Amino acid sequence: MAMEQRRHILLYDEDCSFCRWAVGKVLAWERGRVRAVPIQGASGDRLLAEVPPEKRLDSWHLVTPPGRVLSGGAAAPAELARLLPGGRPLAALFHAFPNATERAYRWVAAHRGRLAELGLRERRP
């Protein structure tokens, strides 16, 4: 629990190969500021208690150290980008254009299976 209070937590769909790939890219960039947790499981259930179960897999979610849950494209990417080394200009862009960010996020979320087919996926041994 103490670790969750100090770091942001990125919750993702562990059954989605594109999602695992994207989270891997974030973790390679973020330098220990974010912890990744699958939505599916006890930790995901606890952290996303305020999100209806049928909505949890619709997007990834970012839980801030105080416990605020940010979901989808309007909030989560901007907050997440702010945590990344060199990500502040990207965060500012996301904040300046929240509707475009949300639309782009929703497009990626709706096409994540196709993106995985194009090679943007985690390959398991």
Please indicate, yes or no, if residue 84 is contained in any of the structural domains.
yes
Q: What is the pTM of this model?
A: 0.83
125, part of any domain? no
Is residue 75 assigned to a domain? Answer: yes
CATH of the domain at 108: 3.40.30
Q: What is the DSSP letter of 9?
A: E
If the chain, 125 residues long, is cut into consecutive pieces of 10 residues, what is the mean pLDDT of each piece? 70 91 89 91 95 93 92 79 90 91 89 80 54
Token duo for residue 86 = 């060199």
3-state secondary structure of 48: coil
- The values of phi and psi at residue 75, to 5°, are -120, -50
Q: Give the span between the Cα atoms of 97 and 78, in whole angstroms.
A: 10
